[in-house]
Amino acid sequence: MPATERSLDLARTAARAADDKLATTVAGIDVSEQLALTDVFVIVSASTDRQVGAIVDEVEDQLRERGAKPIRREGERDGRWVLLDFGDIVVHVQHDEEREFYELERLWKDCPEIDLGVPKRRDA
Which domains, and CATH codes, for the chain? Answer: 5-114 (3.30.460.10)
Confidence band of 81 (pLDDT split at 50, 70, 90): very high
Average pLDDT of the segment spanning 69-78: 88
Check pLDDT > 70 for residue 124.
no
Confidence band of 78 (pLDDT split at 50, 70, 90): confident
Q: What percent of the chain has pLDDT over 90?
A: 89
What strand order describes the sheet that includes 113-114? 72-74, 81-85, 89-95, 40-46, 25-30, 113-114
